A and B are shown apart, each in its own frame.
Chain A
């Protein structure tokens, strides 16, 4: 399984990521997920989230998750991009792409990967409140 992991302070460039997509003739499903910063947290309005990462451990843990994806499903490739630092409301903080022969395994692998990432990967976010 091909894998690509990017933890970056730069905005997620969806057109560039789509242009880099490669899939073989046997692939019939591409599932893409985009996580976007919401403008509210509870009842409060926020203007951004500040993401912090323990980089070495995050890379290690995500690669362990990729290993498990490869064992569980016949996935051809997985790519994951996570923003670090300040991410404004409405901007994407997470982009995940899973390429597989069929939609069932593509959806399942993508859902599982995101759920597990939120459970074990050492990334934290702190709301930046509106000034008003």
Chain B
């Protein structure tokens, strides 16, 4: 299956892009996606513990099972206000 990954804030600097397409085995979790992303974008490895992840517009934990066509967003802790 294919999912779209969007990066926000300084994650765009770490990866050098705002968006990427990733292909994963069916039934893959967010954690599996993150492991794959660390191979493609090694600078993400240093952010493993603080990375927030969302599918669509809702936060999800790393056990979340992805679906074909999902839009996944990765970003650092938020700083509004």
Secondary structure dominating the interface of B: loop
Within residues 25 to 73 of chain B, which ones have a CB less than 8 A from any CB in chain A?
A: 52, 54, 56-59, 73
Q: Are A122 and B8 in contact (CB under 8 A)?
A: yes
Q: Are B81 and A122 in contact (CB under 8 A)?
A: no
Q: Are A54 and B73 in contact (CB under 8 A)?
A: yes
Please, how many angstroms separate the alpha-carbon atoms of A121 and B79 in the complex?
A: 8
Please, how many angstroms separate the alpha-carbon atoms of A120 and B57 in the complex?
A: 11
Within residues 88 to 124 of chain A, which ones have a CB less than 8 A from any CB in chain B?
A: 93-94, 114, 117-124
Q: How many residues of B contact A (CB 8 A)?
A: 17
Q: Are A57 and B79 in contact (CB under 8 A)?
A: no
Q: Which residues of A pack against B, CB within 8 Å?
A: 35, 51-52, 54, 56-58, 60-61, 82, 93-94, 114, 117-126
Q: Which residues of B pack against A, CB within 8 Å?
A: 6, 8-10, 52, 54, 56-59, 73, 75-76, 78-81
A-B contact pairs, 25 of them (CB 8 A): A51-B80, A52-B8, A52-B9, A54-B8, A57-B54, A57-B57, A58-B80, A82-B80, A93-B81, A94-B80, A114-B81, A118-B78, A118-B79, A119-B78, A121-B80, A122-B52, A122-B75, A123-B78, A124-B8, A124-B9, A124-B10, A124-B76, A124-B78, A125-B79, A126-B9
